[in-house]
Amino acid sequence: MSKKINIRDLAFEELKTQLINLGQQAFRAKQVYEWLWNKNAHTFEEMSSLSKDLRIKLEEHFFIDGIKVVDQQASSDKTIKCAFEIEKGKVVEGVLIPTTSRMTACISCQVGCSLSCDFCATGKLKLLRNLSAGEIYDQVAYLKRLAEEKYNTPLTNIVYMGMGEPMLNYKNVLRSIDVITSKEGMGMSPRRITVSTAGVSKMIKKLGDDEVKFNFALSLHAANDEKRNKIMEINEKNDLESLKEALVYFYEKTGTRVTFEYIIFKDFNDSIEDARELVTFSRNVPCKINIIEYNPIDDVGYQRADPKKVDEFAAYLESKGLVVNIRRSRGKDIDAACGQLANKNKAVVERTFKTSI
């Protein structure tokens, strides 16, 4: 017997072809597709509108991948962090972040990360594998349901800012967004989705070539190569000049304003001179800047910048006509804040709860 196919890896037209080859009418593809995505079914038995014979055939030829919730923690600020088991011994984390104006799901795209950014807890983990489009989608589906059940509020935004580098899992990230934004999936506007990268220049250009509609953020953190090399190894092969070229290309192709994320560290990148360099780099494309307070992790010497210096830094940028937001971190008490996702509670890898997607 041939190996079963992960049915959620199939695009709609591919699914239609597979079903026709199994002797089914083409319209069945739409039914199956809606069960997989809009209704988030994880067994063929759940697909009650299909005949029993078709469900048996699907079971014989396909499988449905999925994730399992193995831990859940709530912060004092109502942020909720979830540990999702992808397969035995492989866990990623996703975070539901409620604010007065938004309900945001922060999701992961890889188990671990290969980039080793000096200040990031995830970067201390080795990369184990990419997540499939279905596994990424499931995180959103669970956090969406959690938002509705816990806070009686719909999910408003999705950020690909959890574990892993989205540009190094490009195909599955874009596929997951295609389904999330489709009417057969969640029907969410791509303008409610932000994909963040540490800076893979050639893949930023590919986003432009693909004319993506979602929002795009670059984790910049320093606007000179010497400092960026020190904290972000990726800058050695994707320096600021190559990033500038890629960003200009991306903007010309998409017309989408770029967000620069700037984690501000004490006595490292918090001076007015650093702000001047950021202003210069920011002139390359229409942008806004998110200044993010640093969330300390174990065994790293960086410290959070003084709030007064952060305000002075932001004020300087604003005086130069830039759009600036200061992001105060949420979920710090459960290690759910920016840069802290690292499966700190290792026991979750050993546990298996009954709750599953």
Q: Which of 117, 120, 287, 338 is catalytic?
A: 338
Q: Which of 93, 165, 261, 293 is catalytic?
A: 93
Q: Give the integer Cα–Cα distance in Å for 241 and 326.
A: 26
DSSP sequence for 216-275? EEEE---SSHHHHHHH-GGGGTS-HHHHHHHHHHHHHHH-PPEEEEEEEBTTTS-SHHHH
Residue found by looking up tokens 């009686």 in the block:
152
82 catalytically annotated: no
Cβ neighbours of residue 349 closer than 8 Å, sequence gap 6 or more: 70, 85, 89, 90, 91, 343
Amino acid at 335: D
Cβ neighbours of residue 299 closer than 8 Å, sequence gap 6 or more: none
Q: Give the integer Cα–Cα distance in Å for 19 and 28.
A: 8
Q: Give the integer Cα–Cα distance in Å for 49 and 55.
A: 10
Residue found by looking up tokens 């990033």 in the block:
243
Reduce the DSSP state of residue 68 to 3 states and report it.
strand
For residues 140 and 158, is the Cβ–Cβ distance under 8 A? Answer: yes
Q: Give the integer Cα–Cα distance in Å for 224 and 162.
A: 25
Q: Give the integer Cα–Cα distance in Å for 69 and 352.
A: 8
For residues 26 and 18, is the Cβ–Cβ distance under 8 A? Answer: no
Q: How many helices (H) and strands (E) would you count in the chain?
A: 11, 14
85 catalytically annotated: no
Q: Give the integer Cα–Cα distance in Å for 165 and 196.
A: 8
Which of 190, 168, 192 lies closest to 254, judged by CA? Answer: 190
Cβ neighbours of residue 1 closer than 8 Å, sequence gap 6 or more: none
Q: Give the integer Cα–Cα distance in Å for 291 and 324.
A: 7
* Residue numbers annotated as active site: 93, 338
